[in-house]
């Protein structure tokens, strides 16, 4: 079985973070959950609202226009939750989003395990959007909520990918006498409440903090020979996310839309280095279920001051990225 395969990368861009950067945020009854920081786990009553100050047609399209594409879509996600015994999901204004497909740990509007969940959103129809909210039953623990668009480059990165792991909170110092002193400022990624980050609580009564993966990960990737349509948007489009013809909005599924929603990767995003999962076959070589794939996730930023697109052939470009885990 392959492990930690870097293949079909998927980038999840959170729209509320982008709207905050534009000044379109009008407050929330649970502001901490919309900060993309699952460490801040609290108990909440439903719903968890994100209020929008400037509704418009363009905003409606950004929040509800689902592309007919295999390289981009819309998603919902909840982190550091205990939502296993309740029905839950997103509402746009007052309309519930029920047409979904599981990415991990979300099926039929509920989760099998406490921890975190991702799902695809297949159908959205709403106008005059002024609120996004997560609705559930009862009082529940939630660390963070995310709603946005995912993107996949047109092909896998080059084979010369580097996966770097580090404990940057640990330093070693040599004394005058030649002894080594190890200083531990922090042990890496903080836990999400009662569970380590990126953990599904598949069994009760287990201490998942022992053996948890807390090191910081960095992926150095290069995408070669990408077509210009997969990298850039149209230069003369007044709205860089859409091509508008006779009032019909067509979302631009190129990576330019991802870079736009994350301000060139400066805003945090969720990263999956292989959206197909490392274990697509079980021990009997049978296709496994979608929600059981060995998916790896991280909260990241692009760790470089700028992005350089090198033209290597007619309408063909290369781009390299350092994708660094943050918390």
Could you report the per-residue pLDDT of 11-42, keeping only the tens digit for each? 999 999 999 999 999 999 999 999 999 999 99
Mean pLDDT over the full length of the chain: 92
pLDDT score for 291: 45
What pLDDT score was predicted for residue 158?
A: 93
Q: How confident is residue 94, by pLDDT bands cut at 50, 70 and 90?
A: confident
Burial classification of residue 247, based on how many CB atoms lie within 10 Å of its CB (0-12 exposed, 13-18 middle, 19 or more buried)? exposed
Residues of the chain above pLDDT 70, percent: 94
Residue 123 is predicted with a pLDDT of 87
Assess whether pLDDT exceeds 70 at residue 284.
Answer: no
Residues with Cβ within 8 Å of 283's Cβ and at least 6 positions away in sequence, in order, are: none
pLDDT at 104: 96
The pLDDT, as a whole number, for residue 247 is: 86
Predicted local distance difference test score (pLDDT) of residue 229: 93
pTM value surpassing 0.95: no
Greater confidence, 246 or 281? Answer: 246
Examine the pLDDT at 282 and tell me if it is beyond 60. Answer: no
- Measured over the CA atoms of residue 185, residue 188, residue 193 and residue 195, the dihedral's sign is negative
What's the whole-number mean pLDDT along residues 127-151?
96
25: preceding bond cis by omega (within 30 degrees): no
* Ranges of each domain in the chain: 10-151
pLDDT in tens, 193-243: 999 999 999 998 889 999 898 999 999 999 999 999 999 998 888 899 999
Confidence of residue 286 (pLDDT cuts 50, 70, 90): low
pLDDT, tens digit, 9 for 90 and up, residues 53-89 = 988 999 999 999 999 899 999 999 999 999 998 999 9
2 vs 164, residue with greater confidence: 164
Rounded Cα distance, 150 and 276, in Å: 14
For the cut 70, the answer to whether the pLDDT of residue 114 exceeds it is yes
Q: Would you say 24 and 15 are in contact if contact means Cβ atoms under 8 Å apart?
A: no
Q: Which fold has domain 10-151?
A: Jelly Rolls (2.60.120)
Instruction: Please state the φ and ψ torsions of residue 62, each to the nearest 5 degrees.
Output: -65, -35
How high is the pLDDT of residue 2?
55
Residue 319 exposure: Cα atoms within 13 Å on the Cβ side: 24
* Highest-pLDDT range among 33-37, 92-96, 97-101, 152-156: 33-37
In this prediction, residue 279 has a pLDDT band, given cuts at 50, 70 and 90, of low
Q: Are 75 and 152 in contact (CB under 8 A)?
A: no
Question: Which one, of 44, 12, 17, 25, lies nearest residue 131 by Cα?
Answer: 25
pLDDT higher for 290 or 65? 65
- The residue with tokens 């390299």 is 320
Give burial (CB, 10 Å; 0-12/13-18/19+) of 283: exposed
pLDDT at 232: 94
CA distances to 227, 232, 271, 297 from 275, rounded to whole Å, are 21, 22, 9, 9
- pLDDT reported for residue 293: 75
């Amino acid at each position: 079985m392959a492990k930690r395969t870097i293949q079909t990368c998927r980038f999840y861009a959170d729209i509320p973070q982008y709207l905050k950067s534009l000044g379109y945020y009008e407050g929330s009854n649970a502001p901490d959950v919309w900060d993309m920081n699952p460490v801040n786990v609290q108990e909440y009553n439903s719903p968890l609202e994100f209020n929008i100050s400037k509704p418009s047609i363009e905003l409606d399209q950004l929040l509800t226009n689902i592309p007919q594409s295999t390289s981009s879509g819309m998603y919902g996600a909840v982190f550091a939750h205990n939502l296993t015994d309740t029905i839950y999901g997103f509402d746009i204004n007052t309309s519930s989003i029920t047409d979904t497909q599981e990415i991990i740990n979300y099926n039929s509007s509920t989760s099998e395990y406490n921890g975190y969940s991702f799902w695809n959103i297949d159908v959205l129809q709403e106008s005059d959007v002024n609120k996004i909210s997560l609705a559930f039953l009862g009082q529940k623990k939630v660390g963070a909520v995310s709603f946005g668009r995912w993107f996949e480059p047109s092909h896998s990165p080059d084979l010369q990918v580097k996966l770097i792991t580090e404990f940057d909170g640990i330093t070693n110092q040599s004394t005058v006498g030649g002894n080594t002193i190890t200083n531990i400022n922090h042990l890496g990624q903080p836990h999400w409440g009662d569970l380590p980050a990126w953990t599904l609580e598949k069994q009760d009564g287990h201490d998942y903090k022992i053996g948890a993966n807390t090191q910081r990960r960095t992926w150095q990737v290069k995408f070669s020979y990408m077509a210009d349509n997969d990298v850039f948007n149209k230069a003369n489009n007044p709205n860089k996310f859409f091509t508008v013809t006779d009032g019909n909005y067509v979302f631009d599924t190129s990576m330019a839309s991802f870079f736009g929603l994350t301000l060139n990767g400066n805003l945090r995003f969720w990263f999956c280095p292989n959206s197909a999962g490392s274990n697509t076959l079980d021990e009997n070589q049978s296709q496994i279920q979608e929600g059981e794939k060995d998916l790896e996730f991280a909260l990241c930023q692009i760790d470089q001051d700028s992005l350089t697109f090198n033209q290597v052939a007619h309408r063909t470009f290369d781009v390299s990225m350092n994708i660094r885990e943050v918390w």
